[in-house]
Amino acid sequence: MPYLFTSESVSEGHPDKVADQISDALLDHFLAFDPESKVACETLVTTGQVVLAGEVKSDTYLDVQTIARDVINSIGYTKGEYQFSGDSCGVISLIHEQSQDISQGVDRGQKEQQGAGDQGMMFGYATKETENYMPLALDISHKILQNLAELRREGKIIDYLRPDAKSQVTIEYSDDNVPQRIDTIVISTQHDAFDIDDAKMLDKIKKDLVEILIPRVIEQLPEAIQNLFDDKIKYHINPTGKFVIGGPHGDTGLTGRKIIVDTYGGKGAHGGGAFSGKDPSKVDRSAAYAARHIAKNLVAAGVADEILVQVSYAIGVVEPTSIYIDTYGTSNVDLSDGEIANKTKDLFDMRPFAIEERLKLRNPIYLETAAYGHMGKTPKTIKKVFESPYNGRIEKEVELFTWEKLDRVDEVKKAFNL
């Protein structure tokens, strides 16, 4: 019997995502001026206020207020009527130095012997469902909001959009787990106050999003996915009514509260920790990226059509305590999932320092991860500029989303005789 599966996404202007982006901007600045920085930075945003907290060990000093304000303005919170803007909000910093009790278990004389920054389990997932090996419902949810943000910034075709938004996509699957059609699309978008009554306002927003936004999204999808959109889709656009009050004024935002949006939209699994604001010595982040890298390369090589990878660590211990693989019965090789895991362990060095080196994680690459998902994006090399009244100006060429590279496919094929 066919079944339905749903994933959601949130925009860069969602209060939790504002917090994530500030935390990762601070992390990037610390790493730009001191690549060995140890950072665990949390952010809270609410009406007119930003609170920064966490632990940092670094040889550099930052103007954290300016960094936070620049992020807020770049997202689009620039007007007084939002009750939250980069130029007028208060910024309170409660950041302090990292505990020596933690660092003594992580730091080593030889970097190769660096211990894990915490205990815990991390997951990576990949599926042949989409070209980027991501779950389809989440991929479409992200694309809806990315295009909505582009329309907001253009301000021409739709001129009333504000930064806060959420999307949700429900897909109908067949018994053999193949997408059949898009069943439901939910979009809630913050907007300016209208001079017309609420009913007319909502009619206009729904018409614009269904007739302007959705066709724009469909154009960016492969033909096979485009065919899943039909005239029977149920649309719920701003289903609670008008949405003028939003962002951090409408709902307090915190770093790390959108971890399912950040990963796989409910497919696969997520471990015990969030990502944003954490340097790569925290395996919550680095090992989750490494597990995604493994899963994606295994699926791309043809080991299975769908793969979940779990890795676990003990704080201060170099080697992972376990590596587990689930192919959901889609394996294309004559090996058990346990045997696949053993081969994978030999192919990918999962020591924390090895992950940092392999994926180039000591670079300032994290702000770009903090909205619309950490997984599924296209690897690319860009130049980033960082300025500080204490450290001057620095320009760095960095490679983004290294964990999305299909750079181990040939090696995997050889190991699995594919």
Q: pLDDT digits over 97-134, tens only? A: 865 555 555 555 566 667 777 788 999 999 999 999 99
pLDDT in the model for residue 97? 80
Q: Is 55 annotated as a binding residue?
A: yes
For residue 108, give both structure tokens. 């080593």
For the stretch 346-387, pLDDT in tens is 999 999 999 999 999 999 999 999 999 999 999 999 999 999
Check: CB of residue 241 under 8 Å from CB of residue 164: no
Q: Is 407 annotated as a binding residue?
A: no
Q: Is 396 annotated as a binding residue?
A: no
What are the residues whose beta carbons fall under 8 Å from the beta carbon of 203, sequence distance 6 or more? none
- What mean pLDDT comes out for the span 321-349? 96
Q: Report the percentage of the chain scoring pLDDT > 70.
A: 96
Quote the CA–CA distance of 21 and 271 in Å, as a whole number. Answer: 21
pLDDT in the model for residue 196? 84
For the stretch 202-238, pLDDT in tens is 999 999 999 999 999 999 999 999 999 999 999 999 9
How does strand 179-191 pair with strand 161-173?
antiparallel
Check: CB of residue 164 under 8 Å from CB of residue 15: yes
Does position 324 have pLDDT exceeding 80, yes or no? yes
pLDDT in the model for residue 337? 97
Tokens 């582009």 belong to residue: 150
Q: Is 191 annotated as a binding residue?
A: no
Q: Is 223 annotated as a binding residue?
A: no
pLDDT in the model for residue 114? 76
Same fold, 3-10+136-247 and 120-128+265-415: yes
Region of residue 265 (phi > 0: left; psi between -120 and 50: alpha; otherwise: beta): left
Span 15-107 CATH architecture: 2-Layer Sandwich (3.30)
Residue 379, amino acid: P
Confidence of residue 198 (pLDDT cuts 50, 70, 90): confident
Check: CB of residue 65 under 8 Å from CB of residue 86: no
Span 120-128+265-415 CATH architecture: 2-Layer Sandwich (3.30)
For the stretch 134-170, pLDDT in tens is 999 999 999 999 999 999 999 899 999 999 999 999 9
Q: Is 165 annotated as a binding residue?
A: yes
Locate the domains of the chain by residue range.
Answer: 3-10+136-247, 15-107, 120-128+265-415
pLDDT in the model for residue 105? 52
Q: Is 258 annotated as a binding residue?
A: yes
Q: Is the pTM of this model over 0.85?
A: yes
pLDDT in the model for residue 204? 95
Q: Provide the H-helix boundaries in 251-351.
A: 259-262, 283-301, 337-347
pLDDT in the model for residue 119? 85
Distances in Å between the Cα of 244 and the Cα atoms of 146, 148, 177, 414, 418 are: 20, 16, 39, 56, 55
- What mean pLDDT comes out for the span 251-265? 97
Q: Is 292 annotated as a binding residue?
A: no
Q: How does 317-333 read in b/e, with b if 16+ C-beta sit within 10 Å?
A: ebebeebebbbeeebeb
Look at residues 284, 315, 278, 324 and name the one whose alpha carbon lies nearest to residue 125. Answer: 324
Q: Is 29 annotated as a binding residue?
A: no
Q: Is 98 annotated as a binding residue?
A: yes
Check: CB of residue 310 under 8 Å from CB of residue 123: yes
Check: CB of residue 347 under 8 Å from CB of residue 412: yes
Span 3-10+136-247 CATH architecture: 2-Layer Sandwich (3.30)
Q: Which helix (H) or strand (E) holds 355?
A: helix 352-359
For the stretch 286-301, pLDDT in tens is 999 999 999 999 999 9
Q: Is 282 annotated as a binding residue?
A: yes
Q: Is 242 annotated as a binding residue?
A: yes
Q: Is 16 annotated as a binding residue?
A: yes
**Rounded to the nearest 5 degrees, what angle is found at the Cα of 212, between the Cα atoms of 136 and 238?**
75
Q: Is 14 annotated as a binding residue?
A: yes
Q: What rounded mean pLDDT belongs to the chain?
A: 94
pLDDT in the model for residue 65? 95
DSSP letters for 7-29: EEEE-TTSHHHHHHHHHHHHHHH
Sign for the CA dihedral angle at 169, 174, 177, 181 comes to negative
Check: CB of residue 299 under 8 Å from CB of residue 305: yes
